């Protein structure tokens, strides 16, 4: 059974499938991470709303990657 942990929660340090250590984020870093993820989610939702195509699939994949790297910057 998988336990879900909010990405902005300090409890995320206990859910470490790949990393062995996480640092505790500041409140500002948590807000930045949530804002980046919200922007990505809004973009992806808009892409899904307007249809389905190879181009949109690529746009969604690249949006997910962009969010991942931006969050990585905040959390490193």
pLDDT value at 1 more than 60: no
- 38 assigned to some structural domain: yes
Share of the chain above pLDDT 90, in %: 67
Count of domains in the chain? 1
- 12 assigned to some structural domain: no
Q: Report the 10 Å Cβ neighbour count for 67.
A: 19
Predicted pLDDT at 44: 98
Concatenate the DSSP letters of all residues of 6-65 into one string.
-TTSGGGGG--SS-S--PPPPHHHHHHHHHHHHHHHHHHHHHHHH---HHHHHHHHHHHH
Enclosing domain of residue 48: 26-75
Q: Is the Cβ–Cβ distance between 7 and 33 less than 8 Å?
A: yes
pLDDT digits (tens, 9 = 90+) for 39-73: 999 999 999 999 999 999 999 999 999 999 999 99
């Amino acid at each position: 059974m998988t336990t879900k942990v909010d990405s902005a929660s300090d409890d995320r340090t206990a859910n470490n499938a790949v990393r062995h250590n996480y640092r505790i984020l500041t409140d500002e870093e948590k807000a930045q991470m949530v804002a980046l993820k919200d922007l990505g989610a809004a973009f992806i939702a808009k892409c899904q709303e307007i249809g389905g195509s190879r181009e949109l699939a690529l746009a969604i994949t690249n949006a997910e990657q962009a969010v991942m790297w931006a969050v990585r910057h905040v959390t490193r």
